[in-house]
Structure 1
Amino acid sequence: MTSPLPPQTPSPPGPFGPRYRALSLGVLLMVLLIAFESLAVATVLPVVARDLGGRELYGWAFSGFLLTNVVGTVTAGRVADQRGSVLPLLVGLALFALGLLVAGFAGSMAVLIVGRVLQGLGGGALMALAYVMIGRAYPETMRARMLALLSSAWVLPALVGPAVAGVLTDALGWRSVFLLLLPLVAVAATLTLPALRRLPAAGGRVDGGPIRDAILLATGSALLLSALTLVSRNPWGALALALPGVALMAWTARRVFPAGTLRARSGLGAGIAVRGLLAWGFFGAEAFLPLGLGELRGLTPTQAGLTLTLGALLWSLGSWTQARLDGRDRGYGRRRRVQLGMGLVLCAIILAALTVVWTALPVWAGALAWAIGGFGMGLAFPTNTLIVMDSAPPEQVGSVSGALQTADVLCSALSAGLGGALLALAAAQGWSEANGLALAFGGALLGGLLGPLAASRLPARPLSGNRAEPESVTAAH
């Protein structure tokens, strides 16, 4: 006679069980909206600039969003620690929605940039609060699943967002890319707020230092980018803005980034520098690729958006490839993979620039360029993150992770702003649009050229000491 089976313990409810379903859907919808908006603008902005004018402010549509995103992220996280998540969530949602409304009804490029600044503040706050909510509202057993879902909420807009934005622009006009999101913001608020009202405040003390540093870093960057935009019309005024801007950035950067970052010192400093240079090159060029393909090569927003989508698909393939290789060589090939990825990004920027300005090249070469660049980013971006995390002292992992994100956002903002300033300089000098776009791509190329030099200073092997050396490495040493 067989003994009866022990009663099965019911599996704990997942993130979409009755108790957590509304909050999970609200958090994911919130992140989807922010991801879509941050990725879709590159596709529609050429049409916006053609409609509103103000081409000299083109780069600010990216820089304004990114710089204020840092401020919103840091501030909301600190306020949530003291007062709970409800107040910063309401403010973040209101700012993001107001930014969509201002951008959607903008009558000039300057007003659109105001909308982008508001979107950046609100979006940064909401992204920080998404992680706060996962940490406070979900039990330990669900957090890993929610974090994985949060990552997926970024992947989907990266893959389809540019193409969807292009289709909306072709069918309904560029304003729809902003205005159609407003009802979804209200849905996200309705889903998340009831659950958050039941959570107690953490009662922590707000540390004003990180908030101050984020504001000063964003202010210094904005002053420098304003100087670059102004230099062709008022050199002395540009100098008056640039000097305090550079001083603020230099002083704050020493507080925000690990020692040796600005010099790409071997080890941790080089890892942070590589992250910034990767973002500088790839995202700086991506900001102007749809503009060049639309204005000089005649592509529609949908077609230009598909080019960016192809890059996102190959980024995913590159990430999968590096994960397989990392498991095979147990981390001993990481520096080579970062160098290879950065080399591919450099080639992609050059080919993309040539496709835009040299009509002898077929237009599909632009899509090929961004596929190459996307695969290079997939190889280098996560691999460099692994190197940095392996190099960070255990007690500094949190601050180093923050420095990585700040380097990413800051360098993307500076590169897009520099490209826009160079585009404005070319227009002020009466040069052709092709020459202006060549200069803009040249600004992004700085990251592609300096990146491999910084990557050569990354550790050649894992530093954590918890991996056995592969046989090939043991034999060589």
Structure 2
Amino acid sequence: MSMSRPLPSRPLPSLEHVAKGASIPESVWSPHLWRLTLGLILITLGPAFEGLAVATILPRIVANLGGLSFYGWSFSAYMLATLVGIILAGDEADRRGPALPFMIGVALFVLGLVLAGVASSMIMFVLSRGVQGLGAGIIASVTYVCVGRGYPEEVKPRMLAVLSSAWIVPGLIGPALSGIVADFVGWRWVFLGLIPVLPLAAGMVLPALRKLTPSLTSGSFDPRRLLAAAGLVSGAGMTLTGLQVPSLPLATVLILLGLVLGIPSLRHLLPPGTLRAKAGMPAAIATIGLLSLAYFGGEAFLPLTLISIRGQSTLLAGIALTAATLTWSAGSWLQAKLAPRQGRRLLVTAGLLLVALGLAGIASVLIPGIPVAVASLAWGVAGLGMGLSYSTLNLVVLETASADQQGTASASMELSSVLGAALGTGLGGVIIGFAAAAGSSPSAGISVVDLIVIAVTGLAILTAMRLPGRPSQATRLT
């Protein structure tokens, strides 16, 4: 799920159409900002709908193509490729402006949709998800660069809520519509039907993107970041592959090589102190990663629980995901209302507790006597907590990052989020695959996954203790 994650920055609106000496706008829909706001919403819609649709219809795809062992990789390939897109596009948008990276991202995302729609095997489907992820990463990074560079400080909490609200329409109709299409027309049309939407949205967005100038302080291309991104993706892929191969010697080699490649690369790409949750921005970025691992690790297998274990329809699974989408937006707006008065640590901790409660609720649905309606209610609670905590964590990064590192800071924040989600879904798929290989039911594997993500939420609460206790001065003045 791609979400409302604006770029960290201090106030420096560099829109060419903002005249010198003009007063700072107080609304995201002001005359100087409404085109940019509308454009960012449109950018969000395509990947938002596709992400919700895949989570809903993936059990149908696996039933048609075979290859249950690739279930988790359908998410992980997307997310790992997204890492590369985020890092490359963030740097390029700083140097050249966001328009060109955005068009490249749209083209790649459309190509991924075509490949998914014609996939003849799960391997081809996983590859198509990687292409989609690369495009989506570029699009996402461009979005955050625009927010960080185009909006003044006091408007950014509200823009967070607006971007979160952009998920409402896909959340309302995406899972249910994708379930109906998959059941009555065929799952391939869920992907093929999206293709005309992206070029149309690109044509509407591009004029606003061209009005954003490159960063004057950005440096030359740094090949070390590209190498670090490739090392991180390769290392994560090796580690996840090693966890799935039956040969113990080969698994050991792959896991060790993956860790040797991945950990140093991650340290290079994230701000110093992130892996030890240093107080301030590093702790916020670390908490984002843990939160994403827990939330998306639980969400990825909720449709599998409802469809394959409890025997429910794809439509009902979509309703549970829709509930979380709506409450996520509500949580983000609640954040915007409370941010001027409440401490960051308190808001994040409250959100994390709600996520833990929701995860416990969907785990309980594995018990045959628990009504399946509990899944929608519990995941709605988790979505509320996600909107409250995730948006507040974005604010912490936004309030503490330097103004001349917008693309780099955005990449670090998104990298942590996407990597956390990739690990959550990937490790969950490995655990379920092991359970199936051992002759256990899928419910046994899902139970283990749910327990792990609840524990990770507890760890996130600990790292959140190193967040600021008070709102920033700039936010309190609004």
TM-score by length of 2: 0.81
| Distance across 2 between alignment mates of 1:197 and 1:381 | 29
Q: In the alignment, which residue of structure 2 is the partner of 1:343?
A: 353
| Distance across 2 between alignment mates of 1:28 and 1:108 | 34
Question: Which of 374, 386, 391 does residue 395 from structure 2 map onto?
Answer: 386
1:88-167 aligned at under 5 Å gives the runs 88-130=101-143, 152-167=165-180
| Distance across 1 between alignment mates of 2:283 and 2:147 | 32
1:407 equivalenced with 2:404 (yes/no): no
Q: In the alignment, which residue of structure 2 is the partner of 1:368?
A: 377
Q: Contact 1:419–1:443 (CA<8 Å) still a contact in 2?
A: no
CA shift digits 1:385-414 (9 cap, x unpaired): 333444446666764443222111110011
Q: Contact 1:229–1:420 (CA<8 Å) still a contact in 2?
A: no
Moved more, 80-89 or 427-436: 80-89
Moved more, 266-275 or 66-75: 266-275
Q: Contact 1:391–1:464 (CA<8 Å) still a contact in 2?
A: no
Q: In the alignment, which residue of structure 2 is the partner of 1:457?
A: 466
Q: In the alignment, which residue of structure 2 is the partner of 1:323?
A: 336
The DSSP-based 3-state class of the residue aligned with 1:299 is: coil
Where structure 2 has 5 or more consecutive residues not aligned to the other structure, the ranges are 1-27
Q: Contact 1:170–1:300 (CA<8 Å) still a contact in 2?
A: no
Q: Contact 2:288–2:390 (CA<8 Å) still a contact in 1?
A: yes
Q: In the alignment, which residue of structure 2 is the partner of 1:256?
A: 269
Where structure 1 has 5 or more consecutive residues not aligned to the other structure, the ranges are 1-13, 469-477
Q: CA deviation at 1:180?
A: 0.6
Q: CA deviation at 1:187?
A: 3.2
Q: In the alignment, which residue of structure 2 is the partner of 1:265?
A: 278
Moved more, 275-284 or 198-207: 198-207
Question: Which of 285, 295, 305 does residue 292 from structure 1 map onto?
Answer: 305
1:207 equivalenced with 2:216 (yes/no): no
Instruction: Call closer, same or farther: CA 1:209–1:150 in 2, change over 3 Å.
Output: farther
Q: CA deviation at 1:352?
A: 0.5
Q: CA deviation at 1:286?
A: 0.5
Instruction: Call closer, same or farther: CA 1:201–1:343 in 2, change over 3 Å.
Output: closer
Q: CA deviation at 1:113?
A: 0.3
Instruction: Call closer, same or farther: CA 1:102–1:382 in 2, change over 3 Å.
Output: same
Moved more, 163-172 or 23-32: 23-32
Q: Contact 2:39–2:208 (CA<8 Å) still a contact in 1?
A: no
CA shift digits 1:422-468 (9 cap, x unpaired): 01111111111211221232342332231222223333334659859
The DSSP-based 3-state class of the residue aligned with 1:214 is: helix
Question: Which of 217, 238, 246 does residue 251 from structure 2 map onto?
Answer: 238
What is the identity, as a one-letter code, of the residue corresponding to 1:308?
A: L
| Distance across 1 between alignment mates of 2:350 and 2:41 | 34
Instruction: Call closer, same or farther: CA 1:464–1:190 in 2, change over 3 Å.
Output: closer
**Paired positions, count:** 444
The DSSP-based 3-state class of the residue aligned with 1:298 is: coil
Q: CA deviation at 1:301?
A: 1.3
Q: CA deviation at 1:421?
A: 0.5
| Distance across 1 between alignment mates of 2:87 and 2:454 | 30
Question: Which of 414, 426, 429 does residue 420 from structure 1 map onto?
Answer: 429
Moved more, 53-62 or 71-80: 71-80
User: Highest CA radius of gyration, 1 or 2?
Assistant: 1
The DSSP-based 3-state class of the residue aligned with 2:451 is: helix
| Distance across 2 between alignment mates of 1:390 and 1:44 | 39
Q: CA deviation at 1:37?
A: 1.2
Q: Contact 1:93–1:189 (CA<8 Å) still a contact in 2?
A: yes
1:173-212 aligned at under 5 Å gives the runs 173-188=186-201, 205-212=220-227
| Distance across 1 between alignment mates of 2:409 and 2:141 | 16
Instruction: Call closer, same or farther: CA 1:83–1:351 in 2, change over 3 Å.
Output: closer
Q: In the alignment, which residue of structure 2 is the partner of 1:229?
A: 244
What is the identity, as a one-letter code, of the residue corresponding to 2:358?
A: A
Q: Contact 1:16–1:24 (CA<8 Å) still a contact in 2?
A: no
CA shift digits 1:246-280 (9 cap, x unpaired): 12221022222223222223433322221111111
Instruction: Call closer, same or farther: CA 1:149–1:260 in 2, change over 3 Å.
Output: closer
Q: Contact 1:318–1:377 (CA<8 Å) still a contact in 2?
A: yes
Instruction: Call closer, same or farther: CA 1:139–1:88 in 2, change over 3 Å.
Output: same
| Distance across 1 between alignment mates of 2:473 and 2:282 | 17
What is the identity, as a one-letter code, of the residue corresponding to 1:365?
A: V
Q: Contact 2:57–2:187 (CA<8 Å) still a contact in 1?
A: yes
| Distance across 2 between alignment mates of 1:322 and 1:82 | 32
Q: Contact 2:91–2:408 (CA<8 Å) still a contact in 1?
A: no
What is the identity, as a one-letter code, of the residue corresponding to 2:438?
A: Q
Task: Indicate the RMSD between aligned Cα atoms, in angstroms.
Answer: 3.6
Moved more, 241-250 or 73-82: 73-82
| Distance across 1 between alignment mates of 2:161 and 2:377 | 30
Q: Contact 2:164–2:332 (CA<8 Å) still a contact in 1?
A: no
Q: Contact 1:341–1:379 (CA<8 Å) still a contact in 2?
A: yes
| Distance across 1 between alignment mates of 2:96 and 2:272 | 33
Q: Contact 2:164–2:328 (CA<8 Å) still a contact in 1?
A: no
Q: What percent of counterpart residues are identical?
A: 42
| Distance across 1 between alignment mates of 2:359 and 2:424 | 13
Q: In the alignment, which residue of structure 2 is the partner of 1:307?
A: 320
Instruction: Call closer, same or farther: CA 1:107–1:459 in 2, change over 3 Å.
Output: same
Instruction: Call closer, same or farther: CA 1:254–1:84 in 2, change over 3 Å.
Output: closer
Instruction: Call closer, same or farther: CA 1:122–1:320 in 2, change over 3 Å.
Output: closer
The DSSP-based 3-state class of the residue aligned with 2:120 is: coil
CA shift digits 1:363-400 (9 cap, x unpaired): 11111110111121122222233334444466667644
CA shift digits 1:305-345 (9 cap, x unpaired): 11111112122222233333333xx233x322322221221
Instruction: Call closer, same or farther: CA 1:278–1:99 in 2, change over 3 Å.
Output: same
